[in-house]
């Protein structure tokens, strides 16, 4: 392997690790640990496997076909069909963007005691400014690399010395002993946080932005599976830390500041600021990616000029798309939506809409016209389709029950 390829793989894996743990995966894992112990580790495992598969597919698709997912969907199925995933994913992605901005604001509130709504516009402005002035490489490798601060959860999990037999049992799906509706709601929220379509749509666009070709197929496979696997381990570490610190004291998570207590026992004051930094940086990185994913989806599907490396004057409608999305997300926080409830609900809603985004993509991944000899095998199709359909069914059942239960 050439030194350049090794560097590319290393940076790619580190970027995937830093970018995996964002406000959705962090808070769903923390609440799952506080409420149900190790029981929901299986959902993190399933979500990690499915996301790694989808990330590898989207990178392979971009490298071999030279297309992004969005422009191929429009080309393959036509504009009238494309409007359906555009609207569904657009709405869910704006809610997801609001949740990520809410994570940034929550971190600032914990650090300063200034209310979340007052931080909404500054957080939006910071996100917009980096997209307006930055490049794709700066966002993907620069900001996402800062997300490695989330390794603090892995350190804390090791220091707390969890019961390994309990951890192992949590990796096997089981029925809840109580609060069944909430258990399944958290399960689909975890899956939605892991398999958000914005993530792999963003990834395929990045492959085209960086001009990948067939020589990147092997590199892409290592980066996708290596980075996402380690990211999933960190998400599991959040759940484990929540079990050993919050559940052990009977603390449930109704607000972000309760989650900030997780790292106090193993790491003391460093742990508190480690949580604040992790929440802010992970949410900031994800907000950038989701805002770009929204703009990519709209611009590619409608045939506009697009590219984060272009000057805003050269892809004006693309730049306006992420600008509008960011400030709509901020307004949802300004008017007083609870960012933690918004986060959990958005993750579950993502699960409910997964078939709209994923099933057409699987059709593309089996199309010889785009991929030739690189089409999917039966196993990868089956794993992704099974996970997506399970997540969708559980979401359709659990969301009304959770809302009815308050």
- Rounded CA gap, 266 and 243, in Å? 13
Residue by residue, DSSP assigns 127-152 as HHHHHHH--HHIIIIIIHHHGGGGHH
| pLDDT at residue 3 in the model | 46
Q: What is the pLDDT of residue 142?
A: 66
Widest CA span of the chain, in angstroms? 57
Confidence (pLDDT) at 121: 96
Whose CA is closest to 404, among 182, 99, 96, 178? 182
Q: Give me the mean pLDDT over the 273-298 stretch.
A: 92
Burial of 291 (0-12, 13-18, 19+ CB in 10 A): buried
Dist CA 1 CA 6 (whole Å): 7
**Above 60 in pLDDT, residue 48?**
yes
Cβ-in-10-Å burial (0-12, 13-18, 19+) of 338 comes to middle
The stretch 221-244 carries a mean pLDDT of 90
- Report pLDDT digits (tens) over 289-301: 899 999 999 999 8
Assigned superfamily of 3-404: Amino acid/polyamine transporter I (1.20.1740.10)
Q: Using alpha carbons, select from 9, 63, 383 the residue that is nearest to residue 224.
A: 9
The model's pTM? 0.91
């Amino acid at each position: 392997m050439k030194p350049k390829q090794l560097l590319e793989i290393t940076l790619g894996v580190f970027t995937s690790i830093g970018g995996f743990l964002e406000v959705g995966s962090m808070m769903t894992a923390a609440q799952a640990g506080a409420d149900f112990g190790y029981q929901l580790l299986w959902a993190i495992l399933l979500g990690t496997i499915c996301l790694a598969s989808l990330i590898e597919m989207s990178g392979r698709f971009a490298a071999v076909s030279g297309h992004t997912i969005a422009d191929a969907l429009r080309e393959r199925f036509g504009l009238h069909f494309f409007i359906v995933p555009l609207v569904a994913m657009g709405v869910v992605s704006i809610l997801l963007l609001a949740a990520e901005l809410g994570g940034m604001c929550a971190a600032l509130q914990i650090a300063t005691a200034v209310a979340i709504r007052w931080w909404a516009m500054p957080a939006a402005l910071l996100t917009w400014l980096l997209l307006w002035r930055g490049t794709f490489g700066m966002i993907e490798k620069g900001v996402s690399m800062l997300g490695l601060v989330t390794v603090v959860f892995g350190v804390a999990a090791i220091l707390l010395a969890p019961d390994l037999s309990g951890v192992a049992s949590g990796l096997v799906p089981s029925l809840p002993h109580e609060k069944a509706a909430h258990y399944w709601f958290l399960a689909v929220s975890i899956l939605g946080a892991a398999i958000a379509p914005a993530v792999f749509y963003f990834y395929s666009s990045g492959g085209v932005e960086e001009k990948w070709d067939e020589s990147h197929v092997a590199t892409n496979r290592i980066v996708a599976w290596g980075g996402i696997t380690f990211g999933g381990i960190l998400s599991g570490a959040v759940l484990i830390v929540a079990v050993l610190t919050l559940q052990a004291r009977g603390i449930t998570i109704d607000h972000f500041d309760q989650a900030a207590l997780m790292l106090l026992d193993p790491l003391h004051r460093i742990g508190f600021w480690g949580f604040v930094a992790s929440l802010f940086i992970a949410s900031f990185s994800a907000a950038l990616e989701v805002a770009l994913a929204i703009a990519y989806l709209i611009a590619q599907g409608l045939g506009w000029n697009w590219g984060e490396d272009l000057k805003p004057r050269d892809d004006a409608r693309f730049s306006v798309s992420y600008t509008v999305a960011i400030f709509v997300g901020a307004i949802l926080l300004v008017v007083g939506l609870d960012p933690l409830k918004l986060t959990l609900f958005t993750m579950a809603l993502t699960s409910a809409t997964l078939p709209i985004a994923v099933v057409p993509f699987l059709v593309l991944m089996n199309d010889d016209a785009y991929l030739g000899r690189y089409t999917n095998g039966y196993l990868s199709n089956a794993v992704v389709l099974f996970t997506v359909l399970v997540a969708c069914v559980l979401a359709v059942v659990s969301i009304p029950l959770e809302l009815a239960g308050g």
